[in-house]
Amino acid sequence: MDTFAPPVQRIRDLPLIPKRADGIDDHRFLAELWQRGPLARDRMGMVHSFPHEIFIRLLDDRLTRQVETEAIRLRGIDSGPVFDFFAHSLLTSNGERHRARRTPLARSFAFPMMKALRPEVARTAEALIAPLADRADVDVLEDVAGPMPAQIIARVLGVPGGDVGYFTRLVYSAIRALAARSDHVIREAATDMGELTSYVARLLESRRQTPQDDFLTDYLRAVGDGDGALSEDEIRITIVTLILAGSDTTRATMAMTLTRLLQHPDQWRILVNDPDRWKGPAVEEGLRYDPVVGALGRIAITEFELCGVRIVPGTVFTPSMLTAMRDPAIYADPERFDITRQDHPRHSPAFGGGVHRCLGEALARIELEEAIAAFARHWPNARILGNAPGLRGLTGTRGIDAMHVEPGGAVTPPAP
């Protein structure tokens, strides 16, 4: 007699995700769900997956596509700056429109070109981090992790120096529209999304009137004419997407990677003793251990079977980044934070996959690596003040708590 239960055949038969009990963090909650099976459903009928293998499979464009405007429409938003972002962004498009929106950016954000920015990124990190070494209390998010990516992208785009503060404020307000937020926060974000889009339109017009030897001028040449030409809405929103996509994720990853290093003194000493050698591995482990994006959104475009479940077109998936990055089938002792681990996949899931893999991956890695190295050089005796920050959220861009650090004083160079 067969003692094994038959495979689940219908989505409605999958385990239902219960309400989370108070005091259970994201990782523990998801681990408990995974114990019931590799798939689960929520009350809206969306299918959540947990293993790394399924995460990768669900990025296959032959099976699923990127969520477009469906999620924002569910919130009752079908017009205005936030809707325009979702309607015209390469993040939320597929097929020909996605290719048309992505292609003009792809060459500019190729790895070799981004590597050329490393010295400037390193100087920016030094300028932000070194002067803070003697402070008793540094707000890492406000003083370093937030300003740094915004300053870098502002320089790439040619934002005038006097506008950088205003530009940075708009970026971190508008980006709240990309995650599940309360209605009043969405309204605030929408206002600043509109302002940011208008600011970008003025930058683009200035390059049309006075071309320069810079990124925006090259981008305007690359959008081209013909069948694949971008509309004015697409041109503006593509640049807005570029600005937003690498800001909040880099900010939170930088803060959480520093947090984990300071919580693990043995790992921190490894980095402090040789920052240039270990900055890359430290960032790789930070990306794995604390993913800033909780889960992706994908929609089935064909019928297929997954873990014995019959999937029909239109099924909405939220493959979990958090569990994929701590899957014991991929990572040895996945709950351990270890910058010396050797079992990272060649391509980190943190930057997505397939045709939607993050264009800004190279720049984000450079920013994170140079910041982490500068922390280690200038704040070797740093310690966290008060409660350590944590990330919150199972899907979309996760929120982060405040992070305060005592840098520990400037380093005295050794005597000659």
pLDDT digits over 361-410, tens only? 889 999 999 999 999 999 999 999 999 999 998 888 888 999 999 998 76
CA distance 178 to 174: 8
Whether 416 has a pLDDT exceeding 50, the answer reads no
Count of all residues that appear for the chain in the document: 416
Please, what's the largest Cα pairwise distance for the chain? Answer: 80
CA distance 179 to 94: 20
How does residue 4 score in pLDDT terms, banded at 50, 70 and 90?
A: very low
23-55 per-position pLDDT tens digit? 889 999 999 999 999 999 998 889 999 999 999
> Which domains, ranges and CATH numbers included, belong to the chain?
11-406 (1.10.630.10)
Q: What is the pTM of this model?
A: 0.90
Q: Can you give the pLDDT at residue 184?
A: 83
Orientation of helix 118-129 relative to helix 147-157, angle to 10°: 140
Whether 248 has a pLDDT exceeding 60, the answer reads yes
How does residue 161 score in pLDDT terms, banded at 50, 70 and 90?
A: confident
Q: Can you give the pLDDT at residue 410?
A: 66
What one-character-per-residue DSSP string does 164-206 give? HHHHHHHHHHHGGGGS---HHHHHHHHHHHHHHHHHHHHHHHH
206-220 per-position pLDDT tens digit? 999 999 888 888 888
Whether 8 has a pLDDT exceeding 60, the answer reads no
Mean pLDDT of the chain: 89
Rounded to an integer, the average pLDDT of 154-183 is 83
**Interior CA angle at 388 toward 384 and 392, to 5°?**
150
**Interior CA angle at 52 toward 67 and 48, to 5°?**
45
